[in-house]
Each structure stands twice: as structure tokens, then as C-alpha cells.
Amino acid sequence: MTSEMIEKARENAKKGTYGNVEFRLGEIEKLPVASSSVDLILSNCVINLSPDKGKVFQEAFRVLKPGGRIMISDMVILQELPSAIRDSLEAYIGCVSGAIKKDEYLQKIEGAGFQDVKVMGESSFSVEFITHDPTVRAMIEKSGLPPGQVKDIAGSVVSIKACGVKPAERN
């Protein structure tokens, strides 16, 4: 988020008389939040944009209180993408080129210390749905990939909803 977006969010919270929200400018790999101070982290398709996803999950673990939870919706891949897609600015903007394999993504969550990590839902996108997006269409045209390979790539990009729990402290 930009400073302007933070200010707009604060204005909207004030207009709506929402007193239980707070907006801070920061980086996902270095959250401006005290350790063990957060109950829940929700993330909607931003972690795949970070080059250091392991650090993102370590930071989430740091700021969560014992027993705190994460709920994430993000893009992952089921197979490696061709370099024409992986290195494409359009694919990055479309949250595809930063995506990693599903198993690796879940391992990074567990590697940060989360328990009970599970996929709560998974959705794939039809090639027709994807190719109607102007950004994706431009990326496909620029890549020169044949239609059959485009269909395979489309089937390997999925959206998952995953959750995990920071273990409660032991007495």
C-alpha cells in the first residue's frame, strides 16, 4: 500500500466509525507490528509477489500471538512455468510469475513454525476466462506460445485458500 492508500483507509474507517482498525505502512517481509501482538492475519493474493515468501511467513509467525491464525488466498502453480511467462512483467502484474509450486508454498508456511497447515479450497481458471483478461492476452501474444501450451499453463495456475495456526505456548 502507498501512503495515499493508508490515508484513504484511515478516512474511510473514520467515516464508518470503525474504531477497531488500524492501518500502517510497511513491508510484508518486515511488518511494523510488535511480536506476539496479532490474533489473525488475512492475506489476499500478495504473498506470491514477494521474492522471499519464507521471510513473509516467518514474519507472520513472529507477530501472531500464540494460538493466532493465518488465512491466506494466493496463487500457486502445479508445474514450472516457461521462462517466457515466468520472466514476463505482465505475468508478474497478473500475480502469476511470482507464484511457486503449491507443495513448496505449503512447506514454507510449515517451515515458519505453523501447525495444522491445510488447504481449505482450490480453484483453477479456464483458459477462456484467463485469455479474456487484456493483460494476459498481451502476455500470451508477446510470448509466442502455441495455444496448446497456453492451455497447459492455464491449468497449472491455481488459487488456494490455506490456513495455519501458531502453536499455543506450553506451561
DSSP letter string, 81-148: PPHHHHT-HHHHHTT-TT--BHHHHHHHHHHTT-EEEEEEEEEE--HHHHHTSHHHHHHHHHHT--HH
Q: How confident is the model at residue 55 (pLDDT cuts 50, 70, 90)?
A: very high
In the predicted model, is pLDDT for residue 156 greater than 90? no
User: What does the pLDDT look like over 58-92, one tens digit per residue?
Assistant: 999 999 999 999 999 998 988 887 776 666 666 66
Q: Are residues 51 and 62 in the same domain?
A: yes
Do 24 and 39 have their domain in common? Answer: no
| 171 within a domain of the structure (yes/no) | no
* 78 plus 61 within the same structural domain: yes
Domain count, the chain: 2
116 and 52, same domain (yes or no): yes
Q: Classify residue 139: in a domain, yes or no.
A: yes
My answer on whether 105 and 161 are in the same domain is yes
Per the structure, the complete domain to which residue 14 belongs is given by 1-28
**Residue 110 placed within a domain:** yes
Residues 63 and 37 reside in one and the same domain: yes
**Are 99 and 118 part of one and the same domain?**
yes
In whole angstroms, what is the distance from residue 134 CA to residue 137 CA? 5
Q: What is the mean pLDDT of residues 18-40?
A: 92
If you ran DSSP here, which 8-state letter would residue 30 be given? B
> What pLDDT is recorded for position 154?
66
Q: Which residues contact 24 (CB under 8 A, 6 or more apart)?
A: 6, 32, 33
Q: 33 falls in which pLDDT band (50, 70, 90)? A: very high
Same domain, 65 and 19: no
Average pLDDT over residues 142-164: 76
**Shared-domain flag, residues 22 and 44:** no
Are 91 and 51 part of one and the same domain? Answer: yes
**Position 6 in a domain:** yes
In this predicted model, what pLDDT tens digit does every residue of 124-139 receive, in sequence order? Answer: 865 555 556 666 666 6
Domain match, 18 and 48 both? no
Chain centroid to Cα 64, Å, comes to 18
Pick from 104, 101, 99: nearest CA to 85: 99
Within a domain: residue 170? no
72 backbone φψ class: left, alpha, beta (φ>0; ψ -120 to 50): beta
Domain CATH number, residue 83: 3.40.50.150
Q: pTM for the full model?
A: 0.81
Q: Are residues 70 and 108 in the same domain?
A: yes
